[in-house]
């Protein structure tokens, strides 16, 4: 796998535009990957800032700093931004940076499409939050406030922030589909000679599954929100019983997208984590084939279980049984992944650098998220958890470890490759422990306050919920602060630090570690051969 | 402020107690479902406790295995990495299969079988049902109807605004108190039918273990047999707009004899109300009732002084509609006139059809009030008898 010859020529045969034009017109996967990651991180601060306002309001009972109308905008935007603005762009950023290098390809298969896919995002995000800021300035009714699930008929009734959200969802969906097409084409066509599908890095497998799901589900959501749009303005009655429609139809459409979306967010991380585990266990990945088939099984099952989000909406007993048992079935392939991750670590030669800490934190906390999901799958007990804080705590245990801890593991792991410097290990560990303490302190209380009977999405609550909420709010601010540490670590690492070697980690394995650190703008002009 | 200081104290003590594990400091924290008072709630609590125990054991076991590995297989103590990537012997295969067999057993036997029976129990609202209550959600109140007894009333939050805005000390049942609670007899299987007049709401009383969405245009059902007298509180559990946090559910479960007495009183009240709707009301009487009705049914959106919250909730003060005629020459409703808007609402907005939730006198009074308050000077009145006649005419 000698690539020294290639690197001698890097950067010679391209005239780079400079300044803003460089970023606007770039078709380079590394630059686009960087933009995706910066975008995701900026959105993390916006979506996170919003939820800190919410936690500040919930610090004690009573309305202190905001009115319910404003509160509803904050929780809605928090959900939409975190899912579509943070989690998905972050994963796509990782894929852009790493897929070509891991597959031994010079770039993504469709570079211009890649550029377009990214540059749809900032306008989409702007569209989503514009009514929010206009509302603050006293213009209009504010941003969409029907919850990120946008349940009809509330979303049909609400102000024009909803129209902005509908078009933002269209654009976000289009961006996701473009990225998904690019990933699939790249993986299928651009692998290095000798790299069969079953020799491909697991990260590529994870993102391939995500890409397939995205192409399957995003058009459904786009169609659904368009139906809301025509119900709002063009006299249709898709979700209005008075005109022959059904409000619950929206829930089916939404969760047909919404449930696989959970796995859209999980699978790239489930693919990335084995690379980290293997590096810091100094031991090859356990059960590669089992993990690949496990991911396939998750992908297939994820699209046939959606209505377990709707047990309180009312549905036939047989449908409840089906959705309950099929949901439980997903625990099997997920258990395969957990088993393989733990078996990779088992009897390794372990060291606990920051990426490893984040990877293990992901496994443990996501494990609890998955186990509580099993409890929620019981259609008869579900009404007690559903739309209460127990549910909120559960899905944050599923999504935060995945989309933040998992992405952080990957970012710390590949940061030396991107910047050419080692990051500050002490600060990285500080970031990890702050995040773990803050996260658990935020969400453990929410399990209990949910069992006590506190519904979600309320700006004010009864007195018996007060103590847990205060604890949760304190935790949220610690969690928020941990990301500032991360920001500082990344800036410091970009600016300087110990020189990173081509193979930055002792146990690292894969084509990306054969190119120098930092990775030159163009890699693998001549494809390496995998034996 | 005193409460805040006490609560911060409690939370800080609890955090410290976590370090020293002192249970008394956790007295203010609740850890599980409230005491169950229906068969469904009992079943749910049982299942919940079993599930939580099992998943906690699974979690702790796996976590312990991982911690053991972190400690034993450290590079810093010189542990050398093995290189296995799959099970190689029959014994290893056995240990790979075992966790999945255990998981399958937990999923489909330990969880799956009780859940199967619980779902059938939960859904069987018809067998042996002894009475029916219809629950209708509207932004932001619950309406209860007893079809057999001919009783119908609306239940809204009574917590004063001053408590919400921290201008008065919060009382014990803050946000969980209503003017007209749902009254039910104990030991009777009550079949609930739910629906909604606007957006989706969800009726939930944790002590009953039931939560069911109220979907506009559709009927959903559930049931409860309350085993123990008492006052049970819950809340709307589906985001339904601005005052989602302010539409509680309060149920008084009483003995059969107390229930019968309550039914008799309620029926007498409704007979009296129907009779008085046929009287001719003075302007002052209409205005007095109107102000009260406005306060509980309208002020939340249109605001206490009628200034509204434009552009979503229009102002009534100075509104053209509120001073224009409301019936035509033939005594029929003028479409989109003031009375029509109050009785029939406006489709696609939060303005609901109040003829579903207010009686004749209340509608007449509140419309009269709106036409002659906040500086509006229509200088006319709506008589309850007119509303009664229009209602019967299907308008």
B222-241 tens-digit pLDDT:
999 999 999 999 999 999 99
Q: For chain B, what is the domain count?
A: 2
- The answer to whether the CB of B253 falls within 8 A of the CB of B37 is yes
> Sheet harboring B131-138: ordered strands across?
B151-155, B141-146, B131-138, B189-196, B220-225
- In whole angstroms, what is the distance from residue A117 CA to residue A124 CA? 11
Confidence of residue B26 (pLDDT cuts 50, 70, 90): low
Residues B253 and B290 in one domain: no
Indicate whether B109 belongs to any domain.
Answer: no
Indicate whether A491 belongs to any domain.
Answer: yes
Judge whether B167 is closer than 8 Å to chain A, CB to CB: no
Residues B379 and B261 in one domain: no
Shortest CA gap A276–chain B (Å): 15
Q: What is the pLDDT of residue B299?
A: 86
Percentage above 70 pLDDT, chain B: 95
Q: Which two tokens stand for residue B22?
A: 């002192």
Q: What is the pLDDT of residue B28?
A: 66
Domain extent, residue B176, equals: 131-274
Paired residues of B248 in beta bridges: B235
Residues B319 and B259 in one domain: no
Q: Please write down the HEC assignment for all residues of A343-368.
A: HHHCCCCECCCHHHHHHHHHHHHHHH
Q: For chain A, what is the domain count?
A: 1
- In whole angstroms, what is the distance from residue A248 CA to residue A314 CA? 9
Mean pLDDT of A132-155: 92
Cα nearest neighbour of A455 on chain B:
B237
Q: What is the pLDDT of residue B18?
A: 60
Chain segment A204-262, per-residue pLDDT in tens: 999 999 999 999 999 999 999 999 999 999 999 999 998 999 999 999 999 999 999 99
Closest CA to A512 of A441, A416, A421, A444: A416
Q: Which of B274, B309, B339 is where one domain is finished?
A: B274
Cβ neighbourhood burial of B124 (10 Å; 0-12, 13-18, 19+): middle
- Mean pLDDT across chain B: 89
Closest CA to B296 of B128, B180, B130, B134: B180
Judge whether A487 is closer than 8 Å to chain B, CB to CB: no
Indicate whether A174 belongs to any domain.
Answer: yes
Chain segment A305-358, per-residue pLDDT in tens: 999 999 999 899 999 999 999 999 999 999 999 999 999 999 999 999 999 999
B16 has a pLDDT exceeding 80: no
Judge whether A371 is closer than 8 Å to chain B, CB to CB: yes
Judge whether B308 is closer than 8 Å to chain A, CB to CB: no
- The answer to whether the CB of A173 falls within 8 A of the CB of A254 is no
Residues B195 and B330 in one domain: no
Q: What is the pLDDT of residue A4?
A: 44
Confidence of residue A1 (pLDDT cuts 50, 70, 90): very low
Mean pLDDT of B34-50: 93
Q: Which two tokens stand for residue B288?
A: 């007095």
Query: A427 preceded by cis ω (within 30°)?
Result: no
E-strand ranges in A26-116 read: none
Residues B255 and B146 in one domain: yes
Indicate whether A102 belongs to any domain.
Answer: yes
Sign of CA dihedral B36, B41, B46, B51: negative
Indicate whether A528 belongs to any domain.
Answer: no
- In whole angstroms, what is the distance from residue A463 CA to residue A449 CA? 11
Residues B283 and B358 in one domain: yes
CATH of the domain at B305: 1.10.760.10
Q: What is the DSSP string of B90-151?
A: HHHHHHHHHHHHHHHHIIIIIIHHHHHHHHHHHH--STT--EEEEEEEETTEEEEEETTTTE
A249-258, A489-498, B26-35: the lowest-pLDDT one: B26-35
Mean pLDDT of B150-161: 92
Confidence of residue B253 (pLDDT cuts 50, 70, 90): very high
- In whole angstroms, what is the distance from residue B306 CA to residue B231 CA? 35
Cα nearest neighbour of A236 on chain B:
B348
Indicate whether B28 belongs to any domain.
Answer: no
Q: What is the pLDDT of residue A5?
A: 44
Q: What is the pLDDT of residue B2?
A: 64
Q: What is the pLDDT of residue B30?
A: 81
CATH of the domain at B237: 2.60.40.420
Closest CA to A416 of A425, A404, A407: A425
SS3 content of chain A, % helix, strand, coil (to 5): 70, 0, 25
- The answer to whether the CB of B159 falls within 8 A of the CB of B169 is no
Contacts of A423 (CB under 8 A, 6+ apart): A354, A412, A415, A416, A489, A490, A492, A493, A497
Residues B219 and B312 in one domain: no
Residues B325 and B264 in one domain: no
Closest CA to A167 of A109, A221, A90, A97: A221
- In whole angstroms, what is the distance from residue A260 CA to residue A214 CA? 8
**Chain B positions in Cβ-Cβ contact with residue A451 (cut-off 8 Å):** 30-33
Indicate whether A384 belongs to any domain.
Answer: yes
Mean pLDDT of B64-88: 92
A12 has a pLDDT exceeding 60: no
CA distances from residue A218 to A148, A391, B129, B210 in whole angstroms, order as listed:
15, 24, 45, 34
Collapsed DSSP state (helix, strand, coil) of residue B392: helix
CA distances from residue A407 to A163, A338, A361, A378, A413 in whole angstroms, order as listed:
31, 17, 12, 31, 10
A86-90, A123-127, B262-266, B361-365: the lowest-pLDDT one: B361-365
Q: What is the pLDDT of residue B22?
A: 52
Percentage above 90 pLDDT, chain B: 57
Domain extent, residue A374, equals: 2-11+26-514
Q: What is the pLDDT of residue A7?
A: 46
Chain segment A13-43, per-residue pLDDT in tens: 556 778 888 899 999 999 999 999 999 999 9
Indicate whether A21 belongs to any domain.
Answer: no
- In whole angstroms, what is the distance from residue B81 CA to residue B83 CA? 6
Q: Pick A359 or B12 by higher pLDDT.
A: A359
Residues B289 and B262 in one domain: no
CA distances from residue A313 to A129, A225, A249, A320 in whole angstroms, order as listed:
30, 20, 11, 11
- In whole angstroms, what is the distance from residue B373 CA to residue B316 CA? 9
Q: Pick B337 or A271 by higher pLDDT.
A: A271
Q: What angle do CA B105, B108, B114 make, to 5 degrees?
A: 115
CATH of the domain at A130: 1.20.210.10
Cα nearest neighbour of B48 on chain A:
A381
Put simply, the answer to whether A325 touches B65 (Cβ < 8 Å) is no
Put simply, the answer to whether A320 touches B163 (Cβ < 8 Å) is no
Residues B138 and B266 in one domain: yes
Q: What is the pLDDT of residue A140?
A: 84
A432 has a pLDDT exceeding 80: yes
Put simply, the answer to whether B11 touches A471 (Cβ < 8 Å) is yes
Q: Which helix (H) or strand (E) holds B201?
A: strand B201-205
A11 has a pLDDT exceeding 60: no
- In whole angstroms, what is the distance from residue A287 CA to residue A292 CA? 9
- Shortest CB distance from B166 goes to which of A64, A287, A457? A64
Mean pLDDT of B356-361: 85
Closest CA to B239 of A386, A58, A446: A386
Judge whether B53 is closer than 8 Å to chain A, CB to CB: no
- Mean pLDDT across chain A: 93
- In whole angstroms, what is the distance from residue A66 CA to residue A46 CA? 18
Put simply, the answer to whether B82 touches A282 (Cβ < 8 Å) is no
- In whole angstroms, what is the distance from residue A284 CA to residue A356 CA? 15
Q: Which of B240, B274, B308 is where one domain is finished?
A: B274
- The answer to whether the CB of B210 falls within 8 A of the CB of B38 is yes
Q: Which of B274, B307, B335 is where one domain is finished?
A: B274
Confidence of residue B20 (pLDDT cuts 50, 70, 90): low
- In whole angstroms, what is the distance from residue B45 CA to residue B125 CA? 20
- The answer to whether the CB of B277 falls within 8 A of the CB of B387 is yes
B119 has a pLDDT exceeding 80: yes
- Shortest CB distance from B7 goes to which of A349, A363, A470? A470
Chain segment A150-197, per-residue pLDDT in tens: 999 999 999 999 999 999 999 999 999 999 999 999 999 999 999 999
Q: What is the pLDDT of residue A6?
A: 44
Confidence of residue B31 (pLDDT cuts 50, 70, 90): confident
Residues B358 and B285 in one domain: yes
> Sheet harboring B248-254: ordered strands across?
B182-185, B248-254, B230-235
- In whole angstroms, what is the distance from residue B187 CA to residue B173 CA? 26
- In whole angstroms, what is the distance from residue B228 CA to residue B99 CA? 43
Q: What is the pLDDT of residue A3?
A: 44
Put simply, the answer to whether A282 touches B112 (Cβ < 8 Å) is no
Collapsed DSSP state (helix, strand, coil) of residue B252: strand
Residues B255 and B289 in one domain: no
Indicate whether B22 belongs to any domain.
Answer: no
Put simply, the answer to whether B59 touches A371 (Cβ < 8 Å) is yes
Cα nearest neighbour of A327 on chain B:
B107
Q: Which helix (H) or strand (E) holds B378?
A: none
């Amino acid at each position: 796998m000698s690539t020294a010859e290639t690197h001698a020529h890097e950067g010679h045969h391209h005239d780079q535009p400079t300044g803003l034009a460089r970023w606007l017109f770039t078709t380079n996967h590394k630059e686009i990957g960087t933009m995706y990651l910066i975008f995701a991180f900026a959105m993390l601060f916006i979506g996170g800032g919003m939820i800190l306002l919410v936690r500040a309001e919930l610090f004690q009972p009573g309305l202190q700093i905001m009115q319910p109308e404003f509160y509803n905008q904050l929780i809605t935007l928090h959900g939409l931004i975190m899912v579509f603005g943070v989690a998905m762009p972050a994963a796509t950023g990782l894929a852009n940076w790493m897929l070509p290098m891991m597959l031994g390809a010079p770039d993504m298969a469709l570079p211009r499409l890649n550029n377009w896919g990214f540059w749809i995002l900032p306008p989409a995000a702007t569209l989503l939050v514009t009514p929010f800021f206009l509302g603050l300035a006293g213009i209009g009714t504010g941003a969409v406030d029907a919850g990120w699930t946008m349940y009809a008929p509330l979303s049909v009734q609400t102000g024009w922030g909803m129209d902005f959200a509908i078009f933002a969802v269209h654009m976000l969906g289009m961006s996701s589909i473009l990225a998904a097409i690019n990933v699939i084409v790249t993986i299928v066509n651009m692998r290095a000679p000798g790299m069969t599908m079953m020799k491909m890095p697991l990260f590529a497998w994870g993102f391939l599954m995500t890409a397939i799901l995205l192409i399957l589900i995003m058009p459904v959501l786009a169609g659904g929100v368009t139906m809301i749009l025509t119900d709002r303005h063009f006299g249709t009655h898709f979700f209005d019983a008075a005109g022959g429609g059904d409000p619950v139809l929206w829930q089916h459409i939404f969760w047909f997208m919404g449930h696989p979306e959970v796995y859209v967010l999980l699978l790239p991380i489930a693919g990335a984590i084995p690379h980290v585990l293997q590096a810091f266990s100094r031991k090859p990945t356990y059960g590669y084939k089992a993990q690949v088939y496990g991911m396939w099984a998750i992908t297939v099952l994820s699209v046939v279980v959606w209505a377990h989000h709707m047990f309180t909406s009312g549905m036939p007993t047989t449908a409840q049984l089906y959705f309950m048992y099929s949901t439980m079935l997903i625990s099997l392939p997920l258990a395969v992944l957990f088993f393989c991750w733990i078996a990779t670590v088992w009897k390794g030669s372990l060291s606990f650098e920051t990426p490893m800490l984040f990877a293990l934190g992901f496994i443990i906390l996501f494990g609890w998220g998955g186990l509580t999901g099993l409890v929620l799958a019981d259609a008869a007990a579900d009404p007690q958890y559903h739309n209460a804080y127990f549910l909120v705590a559960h899905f944050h245990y599923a999504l935060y470890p995945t989309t933040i801890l998992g992405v952080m593991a990957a970012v710390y792991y590949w940061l030396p490759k991107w910047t050419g410097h080692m990051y500050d290990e002490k600060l990285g560990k500080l970031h990890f422990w702050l995040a773990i303490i803050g996260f658990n302190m935020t969400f453990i209380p929410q399990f209990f306050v949910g069992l006590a009977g506190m519904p979600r999405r309320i700006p004010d609550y009864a007195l018996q919920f007060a103590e847990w909420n205060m604890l949760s709010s304190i935790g949220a601010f610690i969690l928020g602060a941990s990301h500032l540490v991360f920001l500082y670590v990344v800036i410091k690492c970009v600016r300087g630090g110990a020189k990173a070697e081509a193979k930055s980690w002792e146990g690292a394995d894969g084509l990306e570690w054969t190119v120098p650190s930092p990775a030159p703008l163009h890699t693998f002009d001549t494809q390496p051969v995998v034996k | 402020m005193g409460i805040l200081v006490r609560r911060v104290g409690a939370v800080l003590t609890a955090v410290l107690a976590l370090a020293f594990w002192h249970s008394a400091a956790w007295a203010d924290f609740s850890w599980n479902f409230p005491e169950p008072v229906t068969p469904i709630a009992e079943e749910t609590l049982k299942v919940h406790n079993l599930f939580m125990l099992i998943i906690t054991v699974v979690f702790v076991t796996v976590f312990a295995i991982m911690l053991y590995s972190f400690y034993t297989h450290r590079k810093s103590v010189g542990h050398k990495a093995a290189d296995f990537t799959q099970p190689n012997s029959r014994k290893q295969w056995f240990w790979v299969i075992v966790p999945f067999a255990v998981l399958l057993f937990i999923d489909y036997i330990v969880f799956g079988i009780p859940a199967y029976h619980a779902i059938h129990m939960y859904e069987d609202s018809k067998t042996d049902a002894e009475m029916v209550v219809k629950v209708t959600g509207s932004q932001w109140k619950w309406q209860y109807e007893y079809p057999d007894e001919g009783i119908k009333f609306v239940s809204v939050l009574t917590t004063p605004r001053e408590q919400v805005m921290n201008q008065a000390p919060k009382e014990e049942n803050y946000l969980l108190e209503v003017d007209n609670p749902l009254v039910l007899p104990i030991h009777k299987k009550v079949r609930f039918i739910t629906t909604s007049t606007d957006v989706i709401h969800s009726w939930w009383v944790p002590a009953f273990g039931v939560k069911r969405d109220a979907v506009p245009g559709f009927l959903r059902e559930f049931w409860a047999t309350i085993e123990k007298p008492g006052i049970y509180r819950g809340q709307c559990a589906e985001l339904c707009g601005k005052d989602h946090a302010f539409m509680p559910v309060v149920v008084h479960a009483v003995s059969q004899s107390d229930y019968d007495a309550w039914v008799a009183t309620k029926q007498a009240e409704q007979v009296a109300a129907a009779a008085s709707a046929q009287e001719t009301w003075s302007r002052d009487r209409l205005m007095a009732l109107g102000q009260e009705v406005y306060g509980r049914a309208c002020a939340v959106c249109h605001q206490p002084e009628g200034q509204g919250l434009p552009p979503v909730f229009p102002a009534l003060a100075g509104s053209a509609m509120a001073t224009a005629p409301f019936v035509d020459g033939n005594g029929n409703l003028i479409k989109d006139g003031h009375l029509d808007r109050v009785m029939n609402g406006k489709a696609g907005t939060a303005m609901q059809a109040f003829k579903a939730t207010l009686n004749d006198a209340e509608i007449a009074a509140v419309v009269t009030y709106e036409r002659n308050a906040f500086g509006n000077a229509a200088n006319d009145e709506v008589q309850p008898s007119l509303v009664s006649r229009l209602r019967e005419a299907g308008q």
